[in-house]
Amino acid sequence: MLFSISTTLPENPQSQALVSRVARMTLVSGASYSAALAFLERVLPIKPNWVVGEVIGGVLLVGLPVMLVARTPQATPITWRDYERMVMVGFVGAGLPIFVWQVLEYLVMPTFE
């Protein structure tokens, strides 16, 4: 099979710890980022030209924790599969709070009937 997606955690306990660390870091930073954006949206209505900054911030939410964890000296070197898992967990960890924030914003948005 050319492509296969592994949904299991890595067998190496060190790899499991690294993936969990990335998940925690991105979840906390994603929640903080969505809270900051919600606050800024209320105080200073976000203008369309701010979207570039939001996207860059969102990409950094995923990239920085993975980079920091991957570059920390480990007892055994991480494999490309470990790195791939960290990136995927990073996207889920950072995206989930932002998704929840947007759902809540949609639910409290006034309807125009």
- Higher per-residue confidence, 76 vs 4: 76
pLDDT digits (tens, 9 = 90+) for 28-51: 998 998 888 888 877 877 666 677
Mean pLDDT of 63-85: 85
The pTM of this model reads 0.71
Q: What is the pLDDT of residue 70?
A: 85
Confidence of residue 1 (pLDDT cuts 50, 70, 90): very low
Contact 27, 94 (CB under 8 A): yes
Say how many Å lie between the first and final Cα of the chain, rounded.
Answer: 52
Contact 100, 67 (CB under 8 A): no
